[in-house]
């Protein structure tokens, strides 16, 4: 996969590409990254890439000319790739969207700065926008790294096992089950016995239960509207039974006795009736 990043701080990326799964992807020839600095296309000795916004207001806006020139250079390196702006107003980055991006041949990621980019670039030059969350960053560089990491680990051949990514959180709409490694007992806390049993069917069942419990406890909204298979339905019914056994029964509330002479404010006021003949009100 070819990924071209546009950033006025290109020095942020060499270390990122030199570590972890991203480094392995580069070494295995599965990722071919490039970083372009729009400042290289800005005129003048100061290579200015920002200017004051029309209409006034605080902050600066990225100028369109250097960014457009950098985009043309990027399209020469990654023909046919769509340009994606990392922006707070973009579509949220989800596991499903990361998987879709991983199936593309190339990506161009545009890192905004200041108050954003000149809007005349959005729509035609930059057709897509992605957000990594409902918060604001100083620039799109960290967001671009998040997108790259989420996408690259899904490329075939990057992870050690082809099934590693299949069990990740959000892949099937659930949070991932807990993980344990050696030693078997740590500070008095033991690994669940089922995981040491060697019974793969029981282990798979335990992991499904743990995944559902964790999702229900931390992200219950993920279960709303999600299609459930028969095994998941059975597990959730079992959870419901367990919770009913734990929770104390509800005690019905006795109505408070009314004091003598107390006014029942719940009583509806008398309705006025109208004669169908002369329209005069009658009690």
User: What are the pLDDT digits (tens) for 54-80?
Assistant: 999 989 999 999 999 999 999 999 999
Q: How confident is the model at residue 279 (pLDDT cuts 50, 70, 90)?
A: very low
Whole-model pTM?
A: 0.78
Q: Which two tokens stand for residue 195?
A: 């995981």
Mean pLDDT, range 261-270, rounded to an integer: 58
Mean pLDDT, range 217-238, rounded to an integer: 93
Q: Of 81, 71, 67, 16, whose CA–CA distance to 38 is shortest?
A: 67
Q: Which two tokens stand for residue 67?
A: 């960014």
Report the range of poorest mean pLDDT among 75-79, 157-161, 247-251. Answer: 247-251
pLDDT at 166: 62
Name the β-bridge partners of 92. Answer: 131
Mean pLDDT, range 31-55, rounded to an integer: 95
Using CA atoms, how far residue 71 sits from 53, 76, 110, 124, 149, in Å, is 22, 9, 9, 11, 22
Q: Say if residue 276's pLDDT is above 80.
A: no
**Alpha carbon of residue 91 to chain centroid:** 9
| 150 touches 96 (CB < 8 A) | no
Residue linked to tokens 């499904």: 208
Task: Note the helical H segments in 88-229.
Answer: 95-102, 141-152, 200-218
What b/e string do you get for 218-238 counting C-beta neighbours within 10 Å, with b at 16 or more? Answer: eeeeeeeeeeeeeebeebbee
What b/e string do you get for 121-153 counting C-beta neighbours within 10 Å, with b at 16 or more? Answer: bbeebbebbbbbeeeebebbbebbbbbbebbbb
Residue linked to tokens 């990722």: 31
Residue 185: in which H helix or E strand, if any?
A: strand 185-186
Percent of the chain with pLDDT over 70: 87
Within 10 Å of residue 209's Cβ, how many Cβ atoms? 19
Q: Say if residue 247's pLDDT is above 90.
A: no
Q: Say if residue 259's pLDDT is above 70.
A: no
Mean pLDDT, range 140-161, rounded to an integer: 95
pLDDT at 269: 56
Per-chain mean pLDDT for the chain: 89
Mean pLDDT, range 32-43, rounded to an integer: 97
Q: How confident is the model at residue 85 (pLDDT cuts 50, 70, 90)?
A: very high
Q: Which two tokens stand for residue 74?
A: 């990027």
CA distance 37 to 274: 81
Q: Say if residue 244's pLDDT is above 60.
A: yes
Higher local confidence (pLDDT), 131 or 277: 131
pLDDT at 252: 75
Q: Which two tokens stand for residue 162?
A: 């082809």
Q: Of 29, 137, 150, 128, whose CA–CA distance to 71 is shortest?
A: 128
pLDDT at 261: 62
pLDDT at 281: 43
Residue 122: in which H helix or E strand, if any?
A: none
CA angle 169, 161, 207 (to 5 degrees): 40
Q: Which two tokens stand for residue 89?
A: 């107003």
Mean pLDDT, range 78-83, rounded to an integer: 96
User: Which sign does the torsion angle of CA 213, 215, 220, 222 carry?
Assistant: negative
CA distance 16 to 226: 36
């Amino acid at each position: 996969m070819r990924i071209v990043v546009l950033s006025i701080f290109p020095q942020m990326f060499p270390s990122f590409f030199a570590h972890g799964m991203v480094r392995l992807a580069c070494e295995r020839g599965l990722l071919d990254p490039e970083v372009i600095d729009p400042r290289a296309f800005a005129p003048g000795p100061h290579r200015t890439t920002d200017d004051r916004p029309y209409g006034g207001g605080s902050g600066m806006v990225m100028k369109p000319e250097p960014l457009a020139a950098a985009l043309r250079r990027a399209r020469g390196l990654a023909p046919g790739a769509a340009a994606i702006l990392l922006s707070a107003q973009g579509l949220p980055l989800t596991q499903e969207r990361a998987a879709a991006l991983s199936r593309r041949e190339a990506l161009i990621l545009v890192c905004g700065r200041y108050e954003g980019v000149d809007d005349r670039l959005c729509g035609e030059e930059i057709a897509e926008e992605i957000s990594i969350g409902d918060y604001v960053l100083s620039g799109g560089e960290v967001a671009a790294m998040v997108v790259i990491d989420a996408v690259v680990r899904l490329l075939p051949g990057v992870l050690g096992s082809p099934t590693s990514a299949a069990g990740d959180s959000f892949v099937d709409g659930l949070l991932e089950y807990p993980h344990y490694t050696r030693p078997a007992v740590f500070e008095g806390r033991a690994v669940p016995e089922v995981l040491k049993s060697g019974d793969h069917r029981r282990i798979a069942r335990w992991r499904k239960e743990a995944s559902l419990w964790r999702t229900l406890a931390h992200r219950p909204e993920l279960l709303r509207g999600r299609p459930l298979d028969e095994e998941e339905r059975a597990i959730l019914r079992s959870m419901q039974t367990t919770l009913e056994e734990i929770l104390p029964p509800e005690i019905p509330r006795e109505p408070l006795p009314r004091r003598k002479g107390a006014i029942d404010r719940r009583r509806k006021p008398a309705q006025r009736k109208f004669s169908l003949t002369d329209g005069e009100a009658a009690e």
